[in-house]
Structure 1
Amino acid sequence: MPKDSFTPRKDTLVLRKPESTDGAAIWELVRACKPLDENSMYCNLVQAEHFRDTCVVAELNGEVVGWISGHMIPNQEAFFVWQVAVSAKARGLGLGRKMLTHLVNRDECAEAECLKTTITEDNDASWGLFRSFARSLGGELTDEPHYEKDVHFDGHHDTEHMVTITLPREEAEVLRAA
């Protein structure tokens, strides 16, 4: 076969709600994404099943390469992101921002007026992702210390800053309609 008739395989990226059967793959992905806190495999299985409407799995050519766990905060109009994991195989694709955008646009998150997450001061990758996400949608990002090292973690974990990003819903609806 002539060289110029060769067609390279196109990568296929799929963002979807997780299934309980994804629990082990999610757990392995989180373990590979240092410095994320590792949960038990059981925790990831329960997240994938019980919180599937507010979590997302990213598959690249059928392999789990991305995961975001999150939930709507009870009695608030806020979506909380617990963990973001992106495999080294999928870095540089803007996958974290794609998954966040996918989640905030789901019907289950339609009532959210803001996105919240916690980030330690030294986690440059997370700060970069959430700042980029806020800029991409025109939302305001604010932060303040929330879970404090000595008060909440008994000195065993760095202070987590509560990051809040406004979700400008009216503008998004106008853009979608145009």
Structure 2
Amino acid sequence: MTAAQAAMTLESPRVEDGADIWRIARDSRVLDLNSSYSYLLWCRDFAATSLVARAVDGGEPVAFVTGYLRPDRPGTLVVWQIAVDETHRGQGLAGVLLDALTARVRPDAVETTVTPDNTPSDRLFSAYAARHGLRLEREVLFDGDLFPDSVDGAAAHKPEVLYRIGPFPTTGASL
């Protein structure tokens, strides 16, 4: 653990964190930005499957991971978004958050989607699978033309590639 990681606490988000999480997502310039209202709801309804990182002194969140358990596959943790504030990038916080969330939830498998141009997310989830000795499968989940925000008939959204990681050992995630 780095000194920067040791200076952070990881905890479930509170509704009051929704605005900061929205800001971090917006400022990432990579994530699809949801409405600010959705981040407030996320902090209320999915706090058990999400985490924020904040300075030990209890300050504002500087990184977050949001997730949920798939209703049709309750052993599968879907990582919805993960982002780190620009001033805290390069310290391994995204990997720490992902490890901590899967240790807490103990899923059978992890799923997420990544657009082909999102190299940092590809590296994060590929490294996660390798670090834990888990299989990683990729396949296009949603073609870009399925998204309604096309421009003059051309897809404005890149395809979303499903990353399926696992299965974890039958005793649950042992991280």
Length-normalised TM-score, structure 2? 0.85
Mind listing any 5+ residue stretches in structure 2 that lack a counterpart? none
The 5 Å alignment of 1:1-150 reads: 12-61=7-56, 62-76=59-73, 77-106=75-104, 109-110=105-106, 112-150=107-145
Could you tell me which residue of structure 2 aligns to residue 169 of structure 1? 169
The one-letter code of the counterpart of 2:161 is H
- The 1:98–1:151 alpha-carbon spacing in structure 2 relative to 1, beyond 3 Å, is same
In 2, distance between residues paired with 1:14 and 1:167?
28
Report the aligned-residue RMSD: 2.0
Deviations 1:71-91 (A, max 9, x none): 000121210011111112221
Where 2:13 maps in the other structure, the secondary structure is coil
Q: Greater CA radius of gyration, 1 or 2? A: 1
In 2, distance between residues paired with 1:45 and 1:170?
34
Mind listing any 5+ residue stretches in structure 1 that lack a counterpart? 1-9
| Richer in helix (by share) | 1
Give 1:170 deviation, angstroms.
Answer: 4.7
Deviations 1:13-54 (A, max 9, x none): 011000001111111111111121111111101001110000
In 1, distance between residues paired with 2:119 and 2:156?
20
In 1, distance between residues paired with 2:172 and 2:37?
37
Conservation of the 8 A alpha-carbon contact between 1:137 and 1:167: no
Identity %: 31
Greater Cα offset, 45-54 or 150-159: 150-159
Length-normalised TM-score, structure 1? 0.84
Conservation of the 8 A alpha-carbon contact between 1:114 and 1:166: yes
In 1, distance between residues paired with 2:170 and 2:89?
31
How many equivalent residue pairs? 163
In 1, distance between residues paired with 2:76 and 2:172?
17
Conservation of the 8 A alpha-carbon contact between 2:108 and 2:170: no
- The 1:167–1:90 alpha-carbon spacing in structure 2 relative to 1, beyond 3 Å, is farther
In 1, distance between residues paired with 2:55 and 2:156?
36
Give 1:160 deviation, angstroms.
Answer: 0.4
